[in-house]
Structure 1
Amino acid sequence: MAAASLRPYGHGGDIWTSRERWGAGVVDFSANTNPFGMSAAARKAAEAALDDADRYPDPQCRELAAAIAEHEDIDPAALLCGNGAADLIWRLMAALRPATVLVCAPTFSEYAQAAQAVGAQMREHVLIEDDGFAVGTRLIDDIHDDVDLVFLCSPNNPTGRTVAPEVLAAVLRRCREAGALLALDECFLGFVDDGPTRSLVRVAAAGSGLIVFRAFTKLYGIAGLRLGYAVSGDAELTARMYAAGPPWAVSSIAQAAGVAALADRTFVDRTRTLISEERPRVAAALEAAGCAVVPGEANYLLVKCPVGDMPERMAARGVIVRSCDSFSGLSPAYIRVAIRTPKENDLLIDAARTSLAGEGKVEAPWQNR
């Protein structure tokens, strides 16, 4: 298949295309991965696993599932490992074949794309800019009895905002009343300071009506290896998801890296410390440059700029940011930027300042609420 005939890449992190256009020296802020790169423990385990790469990987990911189960304090039977969270999202759609799916707008595009691939009708719950795109109990009014599946992302991508625990509890109750499955994407929750206490993984493993997705690719810096997992107390659904794709979805290299990464607590603590220190600094600098920054809690920020061509201006200065005009509900004035190391963040800040010199300032509607 010719490259020109492929579906356009709709995510950040396409450094290959960026380098073709802007040169090899660009710094990528469009992908929300760990600023430290791959966990050293994961890298060492991946390299060692190459010795056995002539064999097929364990299709049931036994050792990895046991490590995840211990880490999350759940039954390994509630787990399904996959080739990143996106693989598992597509497997869920193939297994469930929902007629009607409800998503927020803006949010991660794979939910809608996977749903449309199985012929589902899409409905959007539009998040309000004046509220800083927060997900509130207003969502409950859109969970009608004919909705089969509701997707939530916490922290939401691209806003970076988490869903409050009381809102999640209310949404889950409504989903159960309506007979809908709540699919909760927690792939960025590991970057949040109190993320471990906010997770609904154990709730999903112990009950029904909820499935939670998590990923190694972001927090542990192994996006190229592709590794994620889904947690559900519905054994039948998990079995159908497993059967909805090829049996060797997770390579032996990724499985080994995942086991080692879970034990690398120091790496995660160091990452959270960096994000918690750098995110407010970057936000304040971008606001001083004339932008309005959504109060996110993850390792990235949603930014409203006074111009609509900010990605082009930044790229010309060697910095790649994520254009957000492909997200439903966002205008070309919005970009998403990852939080990286202090030195790299300084490059982002300098590029933003020079790109916006003399352009004025954007007022943040959510700051007046």
Structure 2
Amino acid sequence: MEYQHGGDIYTNSVTIDYSANINPLGLPEKVREALHEAVENCSCYPDSRCLALKQALAEFHQVPAEAVICGNGAADLIFQIVQAVKPEHALLIAPSFLEYRQALLAVSSEITYFDLEEKEGFRLEEKKLEKWIEESEIHFQMIFLCNPNNPTGFAAKREDMAKLLDFCRKKGIFCVVDECFNEFLQEPERYSILEDLQKEEFGHVFLLKAFTKIYAMAGLRLGYGICFDRKITNRMEELRQPWSVSSLAQAAGIAALKESDYVARTRELIACEREFLKEKLLELGFFVFESMANYIFFRDMRQAALEEENLLYKQLLERKVLIRSCGNYRGLDGTYYRICVKRRKENEEFISILESVCREMPCGCSPMPEVRG
């Protein structure tokens, strides 16, 4: 199977990886300590119900523990929720995270796409989507909404999402809201629908979150969902394998939830370094979209790049630098890329290498279509 995501440091010879959107501060020290302690109990089976972790998450988010379900990363839960609902016809926003499509194909769902437009910066306009659903006259059973979206990094505000979710409720559409990158936003609560979930009318919503990115725990695989429809979560519990979350991941998750200072420092770092990278990319002649997350979405408009697929990806890989080509996203091609945000020293090194690429082949860029702000 072809590797379709960022972080493929196993196939490629890489010294600098800008393709995976992981917290540049690395694993929190207290999480590392919790892992060392948990190693002593590795001869025992993990708690298949994740009781302590669920309770910690319930207290952290101020929700009942029975509304929380844990999984082997967010991807595990994406497949579980699709298996639980088994939609005959699902709606996907494009471009967006590839795993949604894979999960839907696994249950033979018919998929229809709502394509975001480049002239609008690939931003989701909720009213336009609602109008399109009305006019399509298709009875969708499920929709995936990634907020902030991956790979574009743009986030819809909470009140706009709430209106869209209410519209979907009236249409009988089950909503999966992916907020795995929400914690990187400057004001995450302004964009999260978490507080709305406990309203009776939001029982049709499954909120997806993960420890992977914000706590730099990608290798441990730990995600979780919050849903107030007990039929859905019970069905997911029936479908999942009993020990999908290791004892190491559970211990790390409980410790990570106490790292509030670490998260605050992360947001400050990302906000500063994201703007630094955007400015440098613009100076080099790339077209940069308005990402709000810990990654930047941009386009290489050099004439040579328009003529050769994944040109920038190849040029950087020759220098042992890995970036995420977005050519395998629907609606995009090999001129679109996503890079993560790291610390200043690393970012300066990356930009220096990128500058050397541009010196060899200057950015005599073709005009972009006008993008609405």
Q: Same-fold call, TM > 0.5?
A: yes
Q: Verify the 8 A CA contact 2:157 2:192 in the aligned structure 1.
A: no
Q: Verify the 8 A CA contact 2:140 2:173 in the aligned structure 1.
A: yes
Counterpart residue number, 1:233? 228
**Cα displacement string for residues 234-286 of structure 1 (whole angstroms, at most 9, x for unaligned residues):** 00100111111201110000000000000011110111110000001100101
Q: 1:361 aligns with which of 365, 369, 372?
A: 365
* Cα distance in 2 for residues equivalent to 1:330 and 1:312: 17
Counterpart residue number, 1:248? 243
Normalising by structure 1, we get a TM-score of 0.94
Q: Per the alignment, do residues 162 and 200 of structure 1 end up closer, same or farther by CA in structure 2, a change over 3 Å counting?
A: same
Q: Verify the 8 A CA contact 1:205 1:231 in the aligned structure 2.
A: no
Superposed, 1:1-369 pairs within 5 Å as: 7-19=1-13, 23=14, 26-136=15-125, 137-143=127-133, 144=137, 146-206=139-199, 207-306=202-301, 307=305, 308-357=310-359, 358-361=362-365, 363-365=367-369, 367=371
Q: Verify the 8 A CA contact 2:158 2:192 in the aligned structure 1.
A: no
Q: Verify the 8 A CA contact 2:295 2:339 in the aligned structure 1.
A: yes
* Cα distance in 2 for residues equivalent to 1:325 and 1:88: 26
The structural deviation recorded for 1:204 is: 2.6
Q: Percent identity?
A: 37
Q: Verify the 8 A CA contact 1:292 1:362 in the aligned structure 2.
A: no
Of 164-173 and 268-277, more deviation after overlay is shown by 164-173
* Cα distance in 1 for residues equivalent to 2:211 and 2:285: 35
The structural deviation recorded for 1:200 is: 1.5
Q: 1:228 is aligned with what amino acid?
A: G
Q: Verify the 8 A CA contact 1:73 1:202 in the aligned structure 2.
A: no
The structural deviation recorded for 1:166 is: 3.3
| Count of residues in Structure 1 that have an aligned counterpart in Structure 2 | 358
The structural deviation recorded for 1:165 is: 2.5
Normalising by structure 2, we get a TM-score of 0.93
Q: Per the alignment, do residues 49 and 363 of structure 1 end up closer, same or farther by CA in structure 2, a change over 3 Å counting?
A: farther
Q: Per the alignment, do residues 201 and 8 of structure 1 end up closer, same or farther by CA in structure 2, a change over 3 Å counting?
A: same
**Cα displacement string for residues 61-101 of structure 1 (whole angstroms, at most 9, x for unaligned residues):** 11111111111011111000000111000001111111011
The structural deviation recorded for 1:366 is: 5.1
* Cα distance in 2 for residues equivalent to 1:205 and 1:145: 29
* Cα distance in 2 for residues equivalent to 1:205 and 1:231: 10
Q: 2:363 is aligned with what amino acid?
A: E
The structural deviation recorded for 1:367 is: 4.3
* Cα distance in 1 for residues equivalent to 2:349 and 2:372: 30
Q: Verify the 8 A CA contact 1:289 1:361 in the aligned structure 2.
A: no
**Cα displacement string for residues 145-177 of structure 1 (whole angstroms, at most 9, x for unaligned residues):** 510001000110000000123321221111101
Q: Per the alignment, do residues 366 and 152 of structure 1 end up closer, same or farther by CA in structure 2, a change over 3 Å counting?
A: farther
Q: Structure 2 unaligned runs (5+)?
A: none
* Cα distance in 2 for residues equivalent to 1:261 and 1:280: 27
Q: Verify the 8 A CA contact 1:339 1:345 in the aligned structure 2.
A: yes
The structural deviation recorded for 1:359 is: 2.8
The structural deviation recorded for 1:368 is: 5.4
3-state SS, counterpart of residue 111 of structure 2: strand
The structural deviation recorded for 1:56 is: 0.6
Q: 1:243 is aligned with what amino acid?
A: E
* Cα distance in 1 for residues equivalent to 2:264 and 2:246: 27
* Cα distance in 1 for residues equivalent to 2:89 and 2:323: 33
Q: Per the alignment, do residues 18 and 268 of structure 1 end up closer, same or farther by CA in structure 2, a change over 3 Å counting?
A: same
Q: 1:304 is aligned with what amino acid?
A: R
* Cα distance in 1 for residues equivalent to 2:289 and 2:39: 43
The structural deviation recorded for 1:142 is: 3.6
Counterpart residue number, 1:4? none
* Cα distance in 1 for residues equivalent to 2:313 and 2:328: 13
* Cα distance in 1 for residues equivalent to 2:288 and 2:113: 24
* Cα distance in 2 for residues equivalent to 1:196 and 1:319: 34
Runs of 4+ in 1 over 6 A off after TM superposition: none
Q: Verify the 8 A CA contact 1:100 1:148 in the aligned structure 2.
A: yes
3-state SS, counterpart of residue 15 of structure 1: coil
* Cα distance in 1 for residues equivalent to 2:2 and 2:175: 29
Q: Verify the 8 A CA contact 1:106 1:328 in the aligned structure 2.
A: yes
Q: Structure 1 unaligned runs (5+)?
A: 1-6
The structural deviation recorded for 1:361 is: 3.1
* Cα distance in 1 for residues equivalent to 2:257 and 2:366: 42
The structural deviation recorded for 1:213 is: 0.1
